[in-house]
Structure 1
Amino acid sequence: MDSFIIIGTAGHVDHGKTWLVKALTGVDTDRLKEEKERGISIELGFAPLRLPGGIHAGVVDVPGHERFVKNMLAGAGGIDMVLFVVAADEGVMPQTREHLDILELLRVQKGVVALTKVDLVDEEWLLLVEEDVRELLKPTHFRHAPIVPVSSVTGAGLKELLDALAGVAAEVNPKPRTGEARLPIDRVFTITGFGTVLTGTLFSGTLHTGDALEIMPSGLRGRVRSLQVHGQKVEEAGAGQRVAVNLTGVEVGQVKRGDVLVTPGAFPAVRRVAAALHLLERAPHPLKNYQRIRFHLGTKEALGRVRLLDRDELRPGDDAVVQIELEEAVVAAVHDRYVIRQYSPVTTIGGGEIIECGGKRYKRFRPEVLRQLELKLTGSPSARVAGELRAATAHLSLADLSGRTGLGEAEVREILHELQREGDALLFEFGGETLAVPFALYEEWLGKVKEVLSAYHSRYPLRSGFPKEELRSRHFKFLPARLYQALLDRWAAAGEVVVNGQNLVMPGFNPSPTPEQAALIDRLRAELSACPFSPPGPEEILRLLENDGELLQYCLQTGVLVKAGEELYFLRDAVEQAWNILEAHLREHQEMTVATARDLLGTSRRYCLPLLEHFDRLKKTRRIGDKRMLYFQKN
């Protein structure tokens, strides 16, 4: 797949951005009737550009008018470099400064400046404007950006501009095509015969024809029917490309700008983010705690409020770690850049980097909270992963840790193996999925298991153990079944617990009756031995055990008693004796009726029939009509 970069225009209204794009690409990006009539860009425009040296670029032409800065923000979020436009006849203007602020806040670090309309000014004026632009750029990432005088009318400087763009484009690092796909949507429309089409700049991952995708935050699902990159049909589109996605299963009215097309389940929709915030020096006022703002991320604009965690107001030019609480859900990832604008009057006042998506509402003025968030922002990769593990209340997957730290899964895996070697984490592999359990949490869970089992043994000393699935449903329901079993296996191998079939017990535990209970069992044996094939009913058996239901269950678990039918309990010795008598008859006579069995055992049908059905279930006998024969005996 060829390398692509996205070039965004920026600059004041009527400084010639759209004319310049047309001169460079041959494409008029003003596609709306209103834009044609008014001579300004309102919506985003797009055009392909092949740069000298063979680099493929897509140009995003953004509006310059102050009323449409939110549309400019929708286009600026995915750009790799900027074509910054300043008209030579007017010089630096208000939206020149605001667009530059936005580019700085979004950390766009590469760009070229085009001084347009040079055919309208003389040499001396042009030098003054160029000096003014240099002064404007001096404190920014663009201090060394090439400045190229051009005229879209005469064509002067266009070749030099293309060469300058190619030179800077060669320095741009391409977006990663690994990981999950994320495409913030900036346009939605329909094509007759094809259906819904969504466009945007692919932030990460790849898209393929036939992919099942999800639209967030609505959760709607669809499938890719076809893909286009700059009007060319493709089977695959990669990060950094301008993509049009023809999606089936979704109606055009169900999607809007600001939604995000993603790999299903890969990105959360959240209404709270923790972030580093820089308030611009040009901000008109300090930012007060819980002040309402306009939040811009990718192509999304949402209203929200800023919670200052360490102060009551943030002064222009200062930085802080904050939480932003939003009035609607947004799709965000760690390290995303965002911009905030004043609620009214609307102007850009700041922005920064997201360091946590979702999460709890932190209490203000808590040093430990500030340290935790500062670690997420500035800590080393290892420290950030370790910090997430320390704060975890459950296991974490590679995808969880990658999303929380903004690191790639391969890097997270390497860090986890180091943490496991250091004894800080345990890793469990299940068919290509890696789950990490902080060692402190592992020990906490083991302590809980021991506590539950000890209490259970104390309360039910005659039971053979705590059913392991009941333990999971009561105390570890949050654990996947495979991880729960892996933990039990590890604890059992270490001698911490004993797995007894489907039950768990503490090491050394054996169910055993008290001397008083043992005497009751002996009394029961004596009573039932007197009439082995005609035992008393369940009420009488419970009476003999002094109504101790636990003791009755113990007798059944240990085989003292055998339950045959719903209401009959026989001594195990009696059942074995009965089978010896019946088996001897069957081996000699091959078959037997209920009446025959009744007479052989000297009992009644009421007791004999449940015994025979018990032997049927054990596959000692089989019933044929009204007779029985040995199970493996031939007819």
Structure 2
Amino acid sequence: MKRFFTIGMAGHIDHGKTTLTKALTNVDTDRLKEEKERQISIELGFAPLYEDDELQISVIDVPGHERFIRQMIAGVAGIDLVVLVVAADEGVMPQTREHLEILGFLGIKQGIVAITKMDRVEEEFIELVQDDIREELVGTVFEGAPFMLTDSLSLKGIAALKEKIICTLKEQDTRDVKGEFRLPIDQVFSVKGQGTVVRGTVYEGAVEEGRSLTILPKGLEVRARQLQVHHKQASAAFAGQRVAINLAGAAKEEIQRGDVLVSSEHFAVTRTIDVSMKVVEDLEYMVKQRMPIKCHIGTAEVMGRIVFFDRNDLTEEREEVLCQLRLDNEIVAKRGDRFVLRRPSPQETIGGGWVIDPIGRKYRFGLATIEELDKKKIGTPEQRIIDVLTEEKCLSVGELVLKTSLDEGTIKDLLQNEPFVQVNKSDYTLKKLQLLIEEEIYDQLNDFHQMHPLKQGLKKAELLQSLQNHYPKALLEFVINKGEETGLFIRNGQFIRHQHFNPHVPSNWQKRTENMLLSLQKDGLQVAYFTDYYNAAGLPDHLQGDLKKFLKDSGEIVPLDDVFYLHGIHFRDAVERLKQQTADVFDVGEAKEILGLSRKYMIPFLERLDTLGMTYREENKRVWKK
């Protein structure tokens, strides 16, 4: 399966991130007029770096100036690898150090150091620069990261850096494309004639063109009208990809950076989150109980207060601190999501960490709360199983042992509890997931019935195929079978429909269909071509195939061959007359005399009797089956 990654350029202002991005991608990511005039990056810049049959890599050029730190956090929060850009003639600067701390808080584990502007310093000075940078990186996520010497203007080292990025990502695990789709929005704009467009990096899952989605925390129902990846239309976008989505159902003014586009209701919308955090090494001001903070999580930037349960202030602390963030506005969060905290005034990065529980409660001050948060941080055995099954959908006991680090006996005992459902002899899922899939299937069937009211239902194979990108086949089969047992779904051969649907002629074509059948009935057994009746009734061409099949299945018409159809009443009457007036064996001549049909209609009529299993041919005669 093709894998998708997004890398970020980070570093001090004027160290050459944008120029390096252009050298690597041949794209100038400074597109705003102010950026051109001031020669600094204000907004996030994006460019395609590399693509082959197995890999697609995009680049985010994040602003380096202190005033644009929030854009930097929004951009870097969705990346898989960071290229730390350090100018050879300046080395590590204060902004570089702050970026390093932020990258650590955001859980970035892969990094490459690109030393730029190497043509500006003497060759013998390069080694000293590298030693200085290496010393500054001790204790950061870039300790031990490879160094690449580059010059973006002469293009020295650019090819080697690009190859290093590609090779590093080929060895790296990709994001989860099986989970529920989640895209934190970092840009919103409108395009004339198209409407609202949002951009972001897909955190997890996948999205397809035409998919119904929800914008959280507002709860706006929208549809992905069109997708673009690097200005090229795409039918789908996957975890790790930068994507622009043209949305139907929401105006630009209703959406903002920090909103999250999701495919499921199973994402927490919250104002209170329990967190594990660490503070920066050189904290300039004391962090006090309930002091205002600015929380950056995903692409959201939210004011709030920090609440401690074991202290009233924080100055120097090298270990993690378990605490709570109470925010002024709702955010979308999951366990494990990373965040960065900044002081609003005077502005500085305080620290960062990860979300223990996105739905925090009110706790008492004291050690008991810290112990509770510590247990929650580790996760109760049942919650760990729930978390894994939420992501993986359906797993065996053995797979759960590997993914939860719980013993087999504990897992088997816990799987007897209410949140879990046994799918087959070996696999388990969550009850809430079963109900969610039931709802998705019902909605999909309902959409199909509205589009094709004449059809018996959707083919089971097509239904499975449409959902197998999101759920295992065994789980889908289980949900369908359970739905049949409860009467929610009804299966007729290979077709499935929901309980409230029966095939029918659309109301706007019902009268014309009745007129067509009356004309057909009026002509008895001497019928014209079926298309003549159809066209004379003024019925649309696109409906003919489905309507013909519906009328055949309901017995209202009976085909003699591909072009002649009898009204069901006349066909059944003719069969009954033939049965009453012939012996067990009869020939064509007898049938013609009884029904008064010419050979043009008689032969197809008798062949239809054979096809329906009423008669069989024996030389030149027909024999009634008993």
**TM, length-normalised to structure 1:** 0.63
What is the CA-CA distance between 1:429 and the residue it aligns to?
4.2
On the 8 A contact 1:9/1:60 being kept in 2, the answer is yes
* Aligned length, in residue pairs: 420
Equivalent residue, structure 2, for 1:615: none
Match 1:434 to one of 415, 420, 430: 430
Amino acid at match of 2:387: S
Equivalent residue, structure 2, for 1:324: 325
On the 8 A contact 1:209/1:235 being kept in 2, the answer is yes
Amino acid at match of 1:356: D
Once the two structures are superposed, the pairs formed by residues 465-504 of structure 1 within 5 Å of their partners are none
On the 8 A contact 2:101/2:140 being kept in 1, the answer is no
Give the % identical residues.
42
SS in 1 for 2:311: coil
Q: Tell me, yes or no, if structure 1 residue 102 matches structure 2 residue 102.
A: yes
Residue 159 to residue 270, structure 1, CA distance change in 2 (3 Å): same
Distance 2:18 2:180 in 1: 34
Q: Tell me, yes or no, if structure 1 residue 297 matches structure 2 residue 282.
A: no
Distance 1:402 1:129 in 2: 46
Say which is worse superposed, 215-224 or 138-147, in terms of deviation. 138-147
Equivalent residue, structure 1, for 2:80: 80
Residue deviations 1:56-106, cap 9 Å, x none? 210000000000011000101000000110011111111100111111111
Equivalent residue, structure 2, for 1:462: none
Residue 420 to residue 86, structure 1, CA distance change in 2 (3 Å): closer
Say which is worse superposed, 319-328 or 279-288, in terms of deviation. 279-288
Equivalent residue, structure 1, for 2:387: 402
On the 8 A contact 2:2/2:54 being kept in 1, the answer is no
Distance 2:378 2:268 in 1: 23
Distance 2:393 2:313 in 1: 38
Distance 1:116 1:423 in 2: 55
Amino acid at match of 2:272: R
Equivalent residue, structure 1, for 2:206: 206
Amino acid at match of 2:417: L
On the 8 A contact 2:268/2:332 being kept in 1, the answer is yes
The runs of 5 or more residues in structure 2 that have no matched partner are: 433-626
SS in 1 for 2:431: strand
Residue deviations 1:202-239, cap 9 Å, x none? 00111011111000111111011111122221111111
Q: Tell me, yes or no, if structure 1 residue 30 matches structure 2 residue 35.
A: no
Equivalent residue, structure 1, for 2:186: 186
Q: Tell me, yes or no, if structure 1 residue 70 matches structure 2 residue 32.
A: no
Equivalent residue, structure 2, for 1:266: 266
Amino acid at match of 1:339: V
On the 8 A contact 1:81/1:172 being kept in 2, the answer is no
Q: Tell me, yes or no, if structure 1 residue 283 matches structure 2 residue 268.
A: no
Q: Tell me, yes or no, if structure 1 residue 7 matches structure 2 residue 7.
A: yes
Distance 1:22 1:329 in 2: 37
Distance 1:103 1:163 in 2: 23
What is the CA-CA distance between 1:129 and the residue it aligns to?
1.7
Equivalent residue, structure 2, for 1:142: 142
Residue deviations 1:491-514, cap 9 Å, x none? xxxxxxxxxxxxxxxxxxxxxxxx
What is the CA-CA distance between 1:423 and the residue it aligns to?
6.7
On the 8 A contact 1:13/1:40 being kept in 2, the answer is yes
Distance 1:366 1:343 in 2: 29
Q: C-alpha root-mean-square deviation of aligned residues, in Å?
A: 2.5
What is the CA-CA distance between 1:426 and the residue it aligns to?
2.4
Distance 1:421 1:111 in 2: 41
Residue 309 to residue 407, structure 1, CA distance change in 2 (3 Å): farther
Distance 1:142 1:327 in 2: 34
What is the CA-CA distance between 1:276 and the residue it aligns to?
0.3
Amino acid at match of 2:333: A
Residue deviations 1:336-372, cap 9 Å, x none? 11100112111112000100012311111142x3222
On the 8 A contact 1:105/1:337 being kept in 2, the answer is yes
SS in 1 for 2:417: strand
Equivalent residue, structure 2, for 1:195: 195
Q: Tell me, yes or no, if structure 1 residue 422 matches structure 2 residue 403.
A: no
On the 8 A contact 2:324/2:360 being kept in 1, the answer is no
Equivalent residue, structure 2, for 1:518: none
Distance 1:137 1:53 in 2: 35
Distance 1:201 1:344 in 2: 30
Residue deviations 1:534-568, cap 9 Å, x none? xxxxxxxxxxxxxxxxxxxxxxxxxxxxxxxxxxx
Say which is worse superposed, 128-137 or 202-211, in terms of deviation. 128-137
Once the two structures are superposed, the pairs formed by residues 466-545 of structure 1 within 5 Å of their partners are none
Equivalent residue, structure 2, for 1:464: none
Once the two structures are superposed, the pairs formed by residues 207-286 of structure 1 within 5 Å of their partners are 207-286=207-286
Distance 2:113 2:199 in 1: 27
Say which is worse superposed, 202-211 or 229-238, in terms of deviation. 229-238
Equivalent residue, structure 2, for 1:488: none
What is the CA-CA distance between 1:141 and the residue it aligns to?
2.3
Equivalent residue, structure 2, for 1:546: none
Larger radius of gyration: 1
Distance 2:390 2:376 in 1: 10
Residue deviations 1:10-52, cap 9 Å, x none? 0000111000100110000001000000000000000001179
What is the CA-CA distance between 1:296 and the residue it aligns to?
0.4
Equivalent residue, structure 2, for 1:553: none
Equivalent residue, structure 1, for 2:335: 334
Residue 8 to residue 352, structure 1, CA distance change in 2 (3 Å): same
Distance 1:426 1:92 in 2: 55
On the 8 A contact 2:179/2:391 being kept in 1, the answer is no
Residue deviations 1:553-603, cap 9 Å, x none? xxxxxxxxxxxxxxxxxxxxxxxxxxxxxxxxxxxxxxxxxxxxxxxxxxx
Residue 155 to residue 365, structure 1, CA distance change in 2 (3 Å): same
SS in 1 for 2:144: coil
Residue 247 to residue 300, structure 1, CA distance change in 2 (3 Å): same
Distance 1:80 1:208 in 2: 22
What is the CA-CA distance between 1:284 and the residue it aligns to?
1.0
Amino acid at match of 2:350: I
SS in 1 for 2:175: coil
What is the CA-CA distance between 1:422 and the residue it aligns to?
2.9
Residue deviations 1:84-141, cap 9 Å, x none? 1001111111110011111111110111111111111112332222111111112122
SS in 2 for 1:426: coil
On the 8 A contact 1:52/1:166 being kept in 2, the answer is no
Equivalent residue, structure 1, for 2:354: 353
On the 8 A contact 2:415/2:421 being kept in 1, the answer is no
Distance 1:127 1:154 in 2: 20
Distance 1:426 1:340 in 2: 38
Amino acid at match of 2:178: T
What is the CA-CA distance between 1:293 and the residue it aligns to?
0.8
Distance 2:249 2:283 in 1: 45
On the 8 A contact 1:274/1:323 being kept in 2, the answer is yes
Distance 1:359 1:308 in 2: 13
Distance 1:320 1:90 in 2: 35
Distance 1:420 1:22 in 2: 52
Residue deviations 1:398-445, cap 9 Å, x none? 8xx329x98644469847995574378524649997339xxxxxxxxx
Amino acid at match of 1:173: D
Residue deviations 1:315-339, cap 9 Å, x none? 3343210000001011110001110
Residue 51 to residue 16, structure 1, CA distance change in 2 (3 Å): farther
Kindly report structure 1 stretches of 4+ aligned residues shifted beyond 6 Å.
Answer: 51-54, 430-433
Distance 2:336 2:298 in 1: 12
Amino acid at match of 1:385: P
On the 8 A contact 1:276/1:322 being kept in 2, the answer is yes
**TM, length-normalised to structure 2:** 0.64
Distance 1:5 1:362 in 2: 40
